[in-house]
Each structure stands twice: as C-alpha cells, then as structure tokens.
Chain A
C-alpha cells in the first residue's frame, strides 16, 4: 500500500488497556498529524509534528500520547481511555507542514472502540 498506512484498521480495547496506533508514510513528507473523526463533530486536529518535533498539542487529554521517532513514523499511545474516545483516528502527512501546494495525504484510519 502506498501513501499513508495506518495499523490496525480496527481496534477494540477496554478502558484499562494500553494500546498503540501506528502510522507510516514514505512520501518524503516532513510533517505528520493525528486527527480524530467522530460522528457528531468535525475533524479535530490532535497533534502536529514538523520534522519530528511536536509543534501542536490541541488540548488533548494526557491519556493520548503521541510519539514520532522519525519523519516517516508516527504513533499514538493510548491508555485508560473512555467510551467517548471511540472514533476514527486519522493520520495525515504533508510536505514541510505547509499544505498549500500539496494538501494533506490521509491514511485510512483506525476505527477505535472503547468498551
């Protein structure tokens, strides 16, 4: 699969579990993003990484912990989540944090269900 790859595609976890979402891109992009897509809200930006440095934390609860070991990989570590955290989590990447010419490339998302 080319573009932005997210794994797993689906995840069901209990509120006491710890899990991680993975995102990978080999597009030569320097910026990566986590978005949350829930049924009743617009796409919510969670985290932004430019050149592996976190440049944005959009008031996300600490039970979500991002990690960007290099410019091609992005993780979202999850622990003690709540049922309202159930949503589609989308990863995206862009060139140098500026989507003006290229836009964002999105992954297919991870459908997370917290039980």
Chain B
C-alpha cells in the first residue's frame, strides 16, 4: 500500500534560518506529490505540486526518486510560515487499489520563532 511518511511531528526554527520539512513516500510507480499547508484557523490549501516545479512563498520541493523523497525547503523562514504542513501522494496510473486516493502524511507543525 502506498504510504507517505513525515518523520517530524514538530519543527521549530528561528526567523531567517533555513527550513526543511521531510517527506518520504512508498510507491513503485510514477508518483504525483504535493505539499498542502494549513495556517491557523484557515482551511487546508495546496502549497505546491511537484509536477509544476514551482516556488511558492519561497518554498521549493524536489522529487528524488532514488531516495523516494519530496522534502519541502525554504532558505529563509518567516514567522508567517508557521503552520501545519502535509505531504500528499497520488498514484499517477489507473488500476490497482490506490487510484483516486490522495494519501496524506501525518503532518509537520512548523513554528518559526522571531
């Protein structure tokens, strides 16, 4: 079964420090990976998609198929980045029991201190 692992439940950094939120997945096919963010009292929203190779709010994430990882990085964290971050995985091929299911990791709560 596909699985998404975010090993850190909590992550604290100081403003201006680099931050990396880890995500590993287990899937034998070609994955589609996402990062979602949930700010305090706001709804869960899409942050970025690996397929678009974009940088959103200074965050980037590179898919490493060899390490089956999709870590989220930002070189200089800001206080407004404090939120819950979820890595999510979607199998890109039809067939099997995983098709149609976006699977989330357990989430990492990022706190950026002033």
Contacts and interface: CB of A to CB of B under 8 A. Distances in A.
| Interface of A: prevailing SS | loop
Given A99-B34, A99-B90, A103-B34, A109 B43 contact: yes
Given A55-B100, A100-B32, A106 B106 contact: no
A103 B49 contact: yes
B92 A100 contact: yes
B43 A43 contact: no
A64 B104 CA distance: 21
Interface string A75-115: 00000000000000010000001111101111111000000
A48 B43 contact: no
Interface string B86-109: 100010100000001111111100
A45 B101 contact: yes
Contacts of B44: 90, 106
Contacts of B51: 100-101
Nearest to A44: B104
A71 to B, nearest CB: 15
B43 A107 contact: yes
B32 A99 contact: yes
A102 B106 CA distance: 22
A96 to B, nearest CB: 10
Contacts of A58: 101
Interface of A: 31, 33, 41-43, 45, 48, 50, 55-56, 58, 90, 97-101, 103-109
